[in-house]
Amino acid sequence: MKLWGGRFEGQTSELMEQFNASIGFDWRLYEADIEGSVAYAEALADAGLITTDERDQLQRGLGQVLEEFGNGQFELRLSDEDIHTAVERRLHELIGPVAGKLHTGRSRNDQIATDLRIYARMAIKRVDESLCEVQRALLTQAEAHQQALMPGYTHLQRAQPVPVAHWLLSHFWPLQRDRQRLQDCRDRLNVLPLGAGAMGGNAFGIDQESLSQVLGFDSVTLNSMDAVGDRDFVAELLFAGALIGTHLSRLAEDLIVYSSAEFGFVTLADAYSTGSSLMPQKKNPDSLELARGKSGRLIGNLVGLMTVLKGLPSTYNKDLQEDKEGLFDTIDTLLLTLPVVAGVIGTLQINTERMRAALDDSLLATDVANELVRLGVPFREAHGMVGQLVRAAETQRIALRDLPPETVRATHEGLVDRWLHIFDPARSVEQRQSSGGTAAQSLATQLAAARGCSN
Ligand code: ARG
């Protein structure tokens, strides 16, 4: 059963049938497709195009098709072409010729645009829940490590001491922005394209407002040509996915580096590690390497769709069928990766003594400069003076705090008294009281805000 055979004389080549078919992947839209059709049957009846009895037959039949998909009884055929054809073909088998009234005024172009938006809405909800899981894992670890200190890095070089919680939460906020981005994408995509027809609108007086309400949309499209050709929401969702992948990749990278013997800051649970077939001693962070690696396909899916969209003429073109596999893959990848990352973080052992041991005096060089500023030295000068002290300590192969008092006095008379107090990482952390800073009060504010986001 083809939905379009009438004007054709010749047979479609088998190769073309295969090439044309999207049923191999778009069967996944069955729920959205049937939901849309049940609502459309209602709209047809409301418009007086079918009787209430015909509506009931259509809706009952669609209910059965849904059930067959749900319990795995639905038999797909290659000749089904796509999910719309498959559902209609089966409906016809179940209820006979009245099935042919369902498509009145509707095109697969407005139908697929509607299905995909319904699917995207559902997908966003699930990805959001998974993001929340990762956030909760980060927050729980942060709550447990508010006192412990570690080196913060820039350029992967030791920079300043920070609370471990502060580092953990630095990975929380990107995910919060991801969630906002998803919500933003959802708000924008929730416009009903059904009634746009093939591209020129619907001639049968279908009540789109009521369709919109029944299907949970916020408004109805204002341009039928745009409605069938618009895949911005897919691109936005793929971008949100690519950025989530990027954030997970950076988090993974921190943890991979920190779990190396050289750092030893964290230990991955056995549950999320694997071994080597050759080297018996190996415990590899494969979970995190895969999380980092998956970002490649997430970014690829975005680039793939952008390339498909660029240069398309107005309205629907079959190229748009290529929007689905990347979208499904992005959603599947995220729903697979996010729970793993949440599991890794939830079971992560944080080796606070190793972190503490990495806090050498050089991390407090900025604090020495700040102290000189408090003594009235212009910061630029203070910076240079401390730079020389650091170099002196380095050449003498001693810690900064162990520089001879005369060297310190030569730098600034007032520095000697304060010298030893400076080399306390906790003091350094407590001094940075800015919003988003490391002091206990700033951290408490941050933790409270994070708690507010992730419940
Ligand atoms: N399978 C198509 C897609 O995914 C559905 C819309 C087809 N429309 C058409 N006129 N051939 O985009």
Distance from Cα 55 to the centre of ligand 1, integer Å: 25
Alpha-carbon dihedral angle through residues 213, 219, 220, 222, given to the nearest 10 degrees: 170
CB burial string 277-311: b at 16+ within 10 A, e below: eeeeeeeebebbeebbebbebbbbbbebbeebbee
**Cα of 372 vs its chain's centroid, Å:** 45
Q: Is it the case that residue 277 has pLDDT exceeding 90?
A: no
Q: Is it the case that residue 399 has pLDDT exceeding 90?
A: yes
Distance from Cα 45 to the centre of ligand 1, integer Å: 25
Tens of pLDDT, residue by residue over 171-199, are 999 999 999 999 999 999 999 999 999 99
Ligand 1 site, residue 82, Cβ cutoff 6 A: yes
Mean pLDDT of 292-321: 98
Indicate the helix (H) or strand (E) that contains 68: helix 52-70
Can you give the pTM of this predicted structure? 0.95
Q: What is the mean pLDDT of the chain?
A: 96
pLDDT at 245 (0 to 100): 98
**What is the location of CATH 1.20.200.10 in the chain?**
109-357
Confidence tier at 2 by pLDDT (50, 70, 90):
confident
Distance from Cα 84 to the centre of ligand 1, integer Å: 9
Please name the fold of domain 362-453: Ribonucleotide Reductase Protein R1; domain 1 (1.10.40)
Ligand 1 site, residue 108, Cβ cutoff 6 A: yes
Confidence tier at 449 by pLDDT (50, 70, 90):
very high
pLDDT at 230 (0 to 100): 98
What is the C-alpha separation between 38 and 118, in angstroms, rounded? 14
Mean pLDDT of 344-366: 97
Mutate to test the pocket of ligand 1, among 7, 106, 318 (most ligand atoms within 8 A of CB): 318
Distance from Cα 3 to the centre of ligand 1, integer Å: 11
The three-state secondary structure class of 212 is helix
Q: Is it the case that residue 219 has pLDDT exceeding 90?
A: yes
Longest dimension (CA), the chain: 101
What is the C-alpha separation between 60 and 431, in angstroms, rounded? 69
Q: Is it the case that residue 25 has pLDDT exceeding 70?
A: yes
Mean pLDDT of 204-229: 98
Ligand 1 site, residue 321, Cβ cutoff 6 A: yes
pLDDT at 278 (0 to 100): 84
**What is the location of CATH 1.10.275.10 in the chain?**
5-104
Q: Which atom of ligand 1 is nearest to the CA of 81?
A: 1
Ligand 1 site, residue 320, Cβ cutoff 6 A: yes
Q: Which atom of ligand 1 is nearest to the CA of 324?
A: 4
What is the C-alpha separation between 330 and 327, in angstroms, rounded? 5
pLDDT at 305 (0 to 100): 98
Tens of pLDDT, residue by residue over 64-92, are 999 999 999 999 987 899 999 999 999 99
The three-state secondary structure class of 2 is coil
CATH code: domain 5-104 is 1.10.275.10
What residue's CA is closest to ligand 1, atom 7? 108
Adjacent-strand bridge partners of 161: 151
Ligand 1 site, residue 112, Cβ cutoff 6 A: yes
Q: Is it the case that residue 338 has pLDDT exceeding 70?
A: yes
What is the C-alpha separation between 374 and 381, in angstroms, rounded? 13
Active-site residue list: 155, 276
CATH superfamily of 109-357: Fumarase/aspartase (Central domain) (1.20.200.10)
Instruction: For residue 428, give the amino acid letter.
Output: S
Q: Is it the case that residue 442 has pLDDT exceeding 90?
A: yes
**What is the location of CATH 1.10.40.30 in the chain?**
362-453
Tens of pLDDT, residue by residue over 404-423, are 999 999 999 999 999 999 99
pLDDT at 455 (0 to 100): 64
